[in-house]
Structure 1
C-alpha cells in the first residue's frame, strides 16, 4: 500500500479511529519472556503489528515461531552486528536458512556495523573488514530476495553503509534509531531511505533535531525493546504503547496534528514493509 492509497484523514469518526493504529517498526520481541510477549501483543488494541528483528539464527527461528502464534508479529531475519561475527560455517547456515524461509519474513535484519563494539574493543582493520563483508553479503541477499533491509548504522558507519546500498541499488533501506551528521542525513533522505524514532525523542535533543530535519514521509516509530529508556520511562518495561508519546512529540516538533502524524507513520511502515 502506498501513502496515496491511504484513506482520507478526516471523514467519519470510524476512519479517524482507524488512522490511530500503530506499528512498532523495530523490536526484539524474542528477547522478552512469554508473559511479557503476551502482554505486548494483547494489551494495546491500537497496535496493529510489530517488526521483530533477529539477533542470529536461533533468534530468527524464535521470531519465525512467534509469527506463527501471533499474527501481529512480522519477523525479520538477520545477524546483529554488535557481537562477534559468525564463522564461515555459521554464516552459510544462516544464509541458507533465511533463503529457505524467505516467505516467512518481511525483511532482512537486524544487520549493520558494530559502532558501539568498535568503540569498546577498538577493532583492527582486519576485524572491521569482516563486518563490512558480512554486511555486504546481507545487502546482496536483500537485493536478491527483494526484501527491505533493517540497518544498525550510526555516526561514521552510516556513510559506509550508504556506499554499499548505492552500489547494489537497494531500494528499501531502514536505518533504525539513526544518529549521524547533516551530510549523511541529506544523502539518506535523497536516496529515499527511512528512519525510525524511539521513545528517546522525548528527551534527546539530537533525535529531536533529526525529526525536525527528516521528511515525515520517511519516518517510522519503534521501541527497540526490551532496550530501556530514561526520562518519563525510567524503570518501566519497554512497551509499544510508549510510541504514543513518541508520536505526540513528533507532532509537536513538526507542528502537525497528532492525527496527521499517526496517519503518516502508520502508512509509511505499512507500505515500506508491505504488510
Structure 2
C-alpha cells in the first residue's frame, strides 16, 4: 500500500470486481496490456465455478499483481452437486495462498424472481446453505468475502456473516433498503460502485449516504452499461469515471476521491 504522504494525484485506480475470465481471450489480453495506460493498478477477477477459478489463477500467474484472483461459485446458476461443491472447496483450500478473496458467492435474487414470475417452485435454502459453506471457508482461511446479495437477500448474507464473525465483506453492486445499508455500514462491510453511478438515481443516492471509508470502484465487466457507456465494451478504465462521479456527489476533488477509494480497496484486500 502506498504511503499516506504520497501526492493524491499518484493514487491509481482499482477494479475490485470483474469477471476477467469471461471475456474472450483476445479481449483479456488487450485489457491487461492496456490498463496501466489508464492508471489502473490491478483488478480483482472473481470466479463463476471451478473452471473459472482455474482460469483466474492462470491469469494471476501470467500477469502477476495486475490480476488478483477470487475463487467461488456464482449463485445465479444451477446449484452444483455435493461432489462438485466438495471438489471446489478442496481446490480452493489447496490454493488458498493464491486467492485474494472468496468470491463471487451469494444468493440468486434474479433467478428466484424469474422462477416466481413463471410460477415455478423455488427453494432458496440450498443456496443459503452453500453460501454458509463459503463464509465458513472465508473465516477458516482469513479471507474477505465478495458477495452477490441484493435487496432482502442481503439480510440473509448479513445473518451468516454475523454468525461466523466475518467482518471483511464486500457487497458488490449493492441495491437494497436503507435499513439493510445501515446494518451493513454498522458492521463495517464494503460496497462498490459500477459505472451506473453516472446515471442510476438509486445508486447515486446510496453513494451519497454510505460511509466514505467503506466504498470502492468496480465494473462487473463484461456486463455492459448504458448512458455514456452505451455500446462500449466494459473496461477497467471506466473506474476513472466512477471515481469522478463519486467525487462530485461527495463534494471532493477527483484526486482526493481516488485516494480514498484506493486506500479502502487496499485495506480490505491487504494489497
Q: After the TM superposition, which residues 136-175 of structure 1 pair with which residues of structure 2 at under 5 Å, given as runs?
A: 136-175=132-171
1:195 and 2:191 are equivalent in the alignment: yes
1:249 and 2:249 are equivalent in the alignment: no
Residue 263 of structure 1: how far off its partner (Å): 0.1
Q: After the TM superposition, which residues 25-44 of structure 1 pair with which residues of structure 2 at under 5 Å, given as runs?
A: 25-44=16-35
1:210 and 2:202 are equivalent in the alignment: no
Query: 8 Å contact 2:8–2:256 — kept in the other structure?
Result: no
Structure 2: tracts of 5 or more residues without a match: none
Q: After the TM superposition, which residues 109-148 of structure 1 pair with which residues of structure 2 at under 5 Å, given as runs?
A: 109-122=103-116, 124=121, 127-148=123-144
- For 2:121 and 2:96, the matched residues in 1 are separated by 34
Quote the residue 1:12 is aligned against: none
Q: How many residues align?
A: 265
Residue 171 of structure 1: how far off its partner (Å): 1.7
Quote the residue 2:15 is aligned against: 24
Quote the residue 2:4 is aligned against: 7
- For 1:70 and 1:271, the matched residues in 2 are separated by 22
Residue 177 of structure 1: how far off its partner (Å): 0.2
Matched residue SS, 2:265: helix
- For 1:29 and 1:152, the matched residues in 2 are separated by 17
Query: 8 Å contact 1:211–1:250 — kept in the other structure?
Result: yes
1:226 and 2:222 are equivalent in the alignment: yes
Residue 18 of structure 1: how far off its partner (Å): 2.0
Query: 8 Å contact 1:226–1:238 — kept in the other structure?
Result: yes
Query: 8 Å contact 2:185–2:211 — kept in the other structure?
Result: yes
Query: 8 Å contact 1:220–1:269 — kept in the other structure?
Result: yes
TM-score (norm 1): 0.94
Query: 8 Å contact 1:6–1:267 — kept in the other structure?
Result: no
- For 2:5 and 2:204, the matched residues in 1 are separated by 28
Query: 8 Å contact 2:53–2:72 — kept in the other structure?
Result: yes
1:177 and 2:168 are equivalent in the alignment: no
Residue 16 of structure 1: how far off its partner (Å): 3.6
Matched residue SS, 1:44: helix
- For 1:257 and 1:190, the matched residues in 2 are separated by 26
Residue 97 of structure 1: how far off its partner (Å): 0.4
Residue 99 of structure 1: how far off its partner (Å): 0.3
Of the three residues 72, 78, 82, the one matched with 1:78 is 72
Quote the residue 1:66 is aligned against: 59
Quote the residue 1:272 is aligned against: 268
RMSD: 1.2
Matched residue SS, 1:111: strand
TM-score (norm 2): 0.95
Residue 124 of structure 1: how far off its partner (Å): 4.0
Quote the residue 2:49 is aligned against: 56
- For 2:61 and 2:225, the matched residues in 1 are separated by 29
Quote the residue 2:95 is aligned against: 101
Structure 1: tracts of 5 or more residues without a match: 10-14
Cα deviation, 1:129-158, whole Å, max 9, x if unaligned, reads 000000001000000000000000000111
